Amino acid sequence: MNAKNTKGTIDFDHLFNLMLKEKDIAEMASGYLCDVKGIDRGIVYNELLPKKLIGYCPERKALAFPLIRGFVIVGIQYLTIESTEVDGKIMMEGREYCHEESDLETGIFNMQKNFKEVIITNGILDLLSTGMTGVSLPSLKTLSQLQLFSDMKATVCFTNTVDRDTAVKRVIEILPKARIITVPQEFKHLNHLLLAKGRDTVKELFLESGAIKPEKQPSRHKGNEACDEVVCRYFTEPGPHNTDATLEAAKKRAKELKIGNIVVSSCRGTTARKALALFGNDFSIIVVTHVTGFKEPNYQELPKEERTYLLGRGAHVVTSEHAFGGVGRAFRNKTGTYQIDEVIAYTLRTFGQGTKVAIEIALMAADAGLVRTDEDIISIGGTSQGVDTALVLRGTNTHTFFDLKVKEVICKPASF
């Protein structure tokens, strides 16, 4: 796999596009980073895969990341996912190294005026473990590069190596105002700390250094306050690859708002199983399926064994007339004329299919008596398969539809 040459320089974008054409890249990358290395799925799905920052080089048996200096790709950084031989050298699993023609000595920096803060780690895994934006320098031996961060608020994270203390002193000489973070002695890398102690411990490490600000408590309306500020996540594209990130975002907000009822759409049970596994026993999970006969007469998409499993795990399963596709759809199928329920459905789809589904299943859950109409719930819907939209809403029954209130958008696709 060779990169194009453009006026004597390597076209790394072309090389990366070639790697992205390899089959099952997303599954391979996310499986390794999430399941093996413990990186938050939200980071992988929302920040890396949609922006095409992950490739795969089969010859090197490694995930590939752009080696970024500022906002310019100057090379390729590799992370081996299994031991292999590269250029006559044995590269063990988890080894990070750079493309031999990457500009490591000087870099090509194009720092924008508003780029004022930076997290610097010596490896891509450590950078991902922080959950923050920054720069990965594969080696901090050539510390002259750090001078390019002299006018920024820099946080430098060191691994536990033999020459760490010497390197820290040299960094302070170059960046006297830099915040220095060192991983606890019992862990070599930040990613090791993440795997052993979890994200909260990593966050505390950065909080103590002042590298990040403490999260504000969820805001509430008080008196005449003009507004609340909450985080909304926008996915680059709709679809099932957002499922894990959507469920995680929904759980986070549910805990913050102390909401106990989670309504989730699931046709075949896959998404429902994921929701049960993630939310655990602290929440009431209401699974809403397609009506029997949706695809063909007398056919129910949720297999009996899946329904039995979900019920056995304590979930509620709703299979009933679709709030936006009942008798009105029969009239449309017969006469070709849309009725008000499907007009509502098409209107809600201007916010995305997942928004329409989330509102519809909330109505169905209320009609089934599984959620109250005087309490907030989180309703989760998707586009075709999986889920990609989560809403905080005050539900109601279908016959009082206009009493329904969408209070917050937790996440949704930005384009659909």
Percentage of the chain lying above the pLDDT 90 cut: 27
Give CA 47 to chain center in angstroms.
Answer: 7
Amino acid present at 327: V
Percentage of the chain lying above the pLDDT 70 cut: 81
Higher pLDDT, 396 or 223: 396
Residue at 245 is within a domain? yes
Tell me the CATH number at 371: 3.40.1380.20
Residue 338 is classified by DSSP as -
3-state DSSP assignment of residue 84: strand
Cα(234)–Cα(6) distance, integer angstroms:
35
The count of domains in the chain is 3
Higher pLDDT, 11 or 323: 323
pLDDT of residue 384: 82
Average pLDDT, the chain: 81
Same domain, 9 and 115: no
* Residue 113: band (very low, low, confident or very high) from pLDDT cuts 50, 70, 90: very low
Cα(56)–Cα(78) distance, integer angstroms:
9
- Chain segment 249-276, per-residue pLDDT in tens: 999 999 999 999 999 999 999 999 999 9
3-state DSSP assignment of residue 91: strand
Q: In terms of residues, how long is the chain?
A: 416
pLDDT of residue 104: 42
> Is the pLDDT score of 139 beyond 70?
no
Same domain, 271 and 363: yes
Query: Lowest-pLDDT range, 123-137, 220-234, 335-349?
Result: 220-234
pLDDT of residue 225: 59
408 is written with which tokens? 């917050």
- Chain segment 21-79, per-residue pLDDT in tens: 665 776 778 788 888 888 887 777 766 766 666 778 888 888 888 776 555 566 778 88
> Is the pLDDT score of 222 beyond 70?
no
Residues with Cβ within 8 Å of 193's Cβ and at least 6 positions away in sequence, in order, are 129, 183, 184, 187, 201, 202, 205
pLDDT of residue 105: 41
207 is written with which tokens? 């909080």
User: Among 73, 104, 135, which residue terminates a domain?
Assistant: 104
pLDDT of residue 405: 94
User: Among 57, 78, 104, which residue terminates a domain?
Assistant: 104
Same domain, 166 and 246: no
Exposure string for 288-324, b = 16+ CB within 10 A, e = fewer: bbbbeeeeeeeebbbeeebbeebeeeebbbbbbebbb
Cα(121)–Cα(131) distance, integer angstroms:
12
Question: At 246, which helix (H) or strand (E)?
Answer: helix 243-257
Residue at 219 is within a domain? no
The distance in angstroms from the start CA to the end CA of the chain is: 33
Higher pLDDT, 17 or 204: 204
Same domain, 158 and 248: no
Residue 216 is classified by DSSP as P
Range of the domain at 379: 233-413
DSSP string, 363-392: HHHHHTTSS-TTSEEEEEEEESEEEEEEEE
Residue at 218 is within a domain? no
> Is the pLDDT score of 345 beyond 70?
yes
User: Among 104, 125, 149, which residue terminates a domain?
Assistant: 104
pLDDT of residue 379: 97
pLDDT of residue 107: 41
Amino acid present at 23: K
pLDDT of residue 327: 78
Average pLDDT of 381-395? 93
Query: Lowest-pLDDT range, 323-327, 335-339, 403-407?
Result: 335-339
pLDDT of residue 261: 94
Query: Lowest-pLDDT range, 10-19, 97-106, 242-251, 264-273?
Result: 97-106
3-state DSSP assignment of residue 247: helix
Same domain, 359 and 383: yes
Strand partners, 85: 90
pLDDT of residue 410: 95
Same domain, 76 and 154: no
